[in-house]
Amino acid sequence: MEEKIINCPHCGGNACFEQQISEEVNTHFCFGCGYSTSTLMVEGSKLLSDTLETSPELYKDLMFVGEDKQVWFPSTVTLPNKGMVFLDGTSKENWRWAAVQSVEILAEEKDKFAKDQTHKMDMKNIQHFEQKDFMDALDHIKFFDIEVAEKE
């Protein structure tokens, strides 16, 4: 899998990772603004209409369309054994990143979860980060500590 760093068309930063998934498909994930897209996520595509149908209003409001018609959304990052980073807010102007660490499921509550699940998101430890601090939110769930092989 090939990976390179490009300038982000959304925030203009230089921490946007381009990853070649297959011959036709590549994805973009920006560590600066937290937005991501793929070559399948373009104006007029089925993937986009499906995404719009299932996404909360706030995501739609924050959608960004690049010059190449590729459509970007704020990312949701889930690492089941570490935590989750997601968008939390009420409007385009008023939102922040939220980070939640996962905790180990206790023996007495194991029957409430899937058999192979070992961790759950602990909403009690939710922490918020400013829009520009996506990296700090990722850091909060120890995103950067994981082995490369574990990353999607």
Binding mask 73-102 for Zn ion (x = CB under 5 A): ------------------------------
Q: Binding to Zn ion by residue 33, rule CB under 5 A?
A: yes
User: What's the min distance (Å) between Cβ of 11 and Zn ion?
Assistant: 3
User: What's the min distance (Å) between Cβ of 62 and Zn ion?
Assistant: 12
Of residues 73 and 101, the one with the C-beta less far from Zn ion: 73
Q: Binding to Zn ion by residue 10, rule CB under 5 A?
A: yes
Of residues 11 and 79, the one with the C-beta less far from Zn ion: 11
Q: Which of 22, 139, 128 is nearest to 82 (CA)?
A: 139
Q: Binding to Zn ion by residue 11, rule CB under 5 A?
A: yes
First to last CA, the chain: 11
Of residues 30 and 79, the one with the C-beta less far from Zn ion: 30
- The DSSP output letter for 38 is E
DSSP run (H or E) holding 17? strand 16-20
HSE (CB half, 13 Å, CA atoms) of 62? 24
Cβ neighbours of residue 29 closer than 8 Å, sequence gap 6 or more: 16, 17, 19, 36, 75
